[in-house]
Amino acid sequence: MTESTPSGADDQLPAGRVRHQITVPEHVPMVALLGQRDEVLDAIEAGFPQVDVHVRGNLVMMTGNAGDVALAERLLDELTQIASAGQPLTADAVERAIAILTDATTDRPAQVLTMNILSNRGKTIRPKTVGQKDYVEAIDANTVVFGIGPAGTGKTYLAMAKAVQALQAKQVNRIVLTRPAVEAGERLGFLPGSLNDKIDPYLRPLYDALHDMLDPESIPRLMAAGTIEVAPLAYMRGRTLNDAFIILDEAQNTSAEQMKMFLTRLGFGSRIVVTGDVTQVDLPGGATSGLKVVQEILTDIDDVAFCELTSADVVRHRLVADIIDAYSHYETRHPQVGRGQSTPRGRSEWTR
Stronger pLDDT, 206 or 59, i.e. the higher one = 59
Q: What mean pLDDT do residues 132-144 have?
A: 97
**Domain 118-350 carries which CATH code?**
3.40.50.300
Relative to beta strand 17-23, strand 3-6 is antiparallel
Q: Which of the residue ranges 58-62, 91-95, 328-332 would you say has the lowest mean pLDDT?
A: 328-332
Give the whole-angstrom CA distance, residue 38 versus residue 32.
Answer: 9
Q: Which of the residue ranges 32-41, 102-111, 185-194, 260-269 would you say has the lowest mean pLDDT?
A: 185-194
**pLDDT, position 201:** 72
Instruction: Determine the 3-state secondary structure of 299 from DSSP.
Output: coil
DSSP 241: B
Query: Roughly what angle, to the nearest 10 degrees, separates helices 66-84 and 39-47?
Result: 150
- Is a pLDDT exceeding 60 seen at residue 123? yes
End-to-end CA distance of the chain: 40
Burial of 23 (0-12, 13-18, 19+ CB in 10 A): middle
Mean pLDDT of the chain: 85
CB 228 within 8 A of CB 211: no
**pLDDT, position 16:** 75
Domain segments of the chain as ranges:
3-113, 118-350
Q: Residue 177: which H helix or E strand, with range?
A: strand 174-179
**pLDDT, position 105:** 78
**pLDDT, position 251:** 94
Task: Grade residue 86 by pLDDT with cuts at 50, 70 and 90.
Answer: confident
Q: What mean pLDDT do residues 83-107 have?
A: 88
Task: Grade residue 206 by pLDDT with cuts at 50, 70 and 90.
Answer: confident
For the four alpha carbons of 42, 47, 49 and 55, in that order, the dihedral sign comes to: negative
Q: What percent of the chain has pLDDT over 90?
A: 55
The CA-based angle 141-142-147, given to 5 degrees, is 105
- Is a pLDDT exceeding 60 seen at residue 225? yes
**pLDDT, position 325:** 76
- Is a pLDDT exceeding 80 seen at residue 290? yes
Give the whole-angstrom CA distance, residue 340 versus residue 153.
Answer: 18
Q: What mean pLDDT do residues 149-178 have?
A: 94
Stronger pLDDT, 66 or 337, i.e. the higher one = 66
**pLDDT, position 346:** 38
Task: Grade residue 87 by pLDDT with cuts at 50, 70 and 90.
Answer: confident
- Is a pLDDT exceeding 90 seen at residue 335? no
What is the Cα 170 distance to its own chain's centre?
24
Stronger pLDDT, 339 or 314, i.e. the higher one = 314
- Is a pLDDT exceeding 90 seen at residue 324? no
Q: What percent of the chain has pLDDT over 70?
A: 84
Concatenated DSSP letters of 104-132? S-S--HHHHHT---EEETTEEE---SHHH
Q: What mean pLDDT do residues 217-222 have?
A: 92
Query: Which of 103-107, 248-252, 319-323, 339-343 is most confident?
Result: 248-252
- Is a pLDDT exceeding 80 seen at residue 7? no
Predicted confidence (pLDDT) per residue in 65-84, tens digit: 999 999 999 999 999 999 98
Instruction: Determine the 3-state secondary structure of 180 from DSSP.
Output: coil
Burial of 229 (0-12, 13-18, 19+ CB in 10 A): middle
Cα–Cα distances in angstroms (integers) from residue 171 to residues 242, 272, 275, in the given order: 12, 13, 21
Q: In the CATH hierarchy, which fold is given to the domain comprising 3-113?
A: Ribosomal Protein S8; Chain: A, domain 1 (3.30.1370)
Burial of 104 (0-12, 13-18, 19+ CB in 10 A): exposed
Task: Grade residue 344 by pLDDT with cuts at 50, 70 and 90.
Answer: very low
CB 149 within 8 A of CB 155: yes
- Is a pLDDT exceeding 90 seen at residue 119? no
Concatenated DSSP letters of 333-347? H-TTSSTTS---TTH
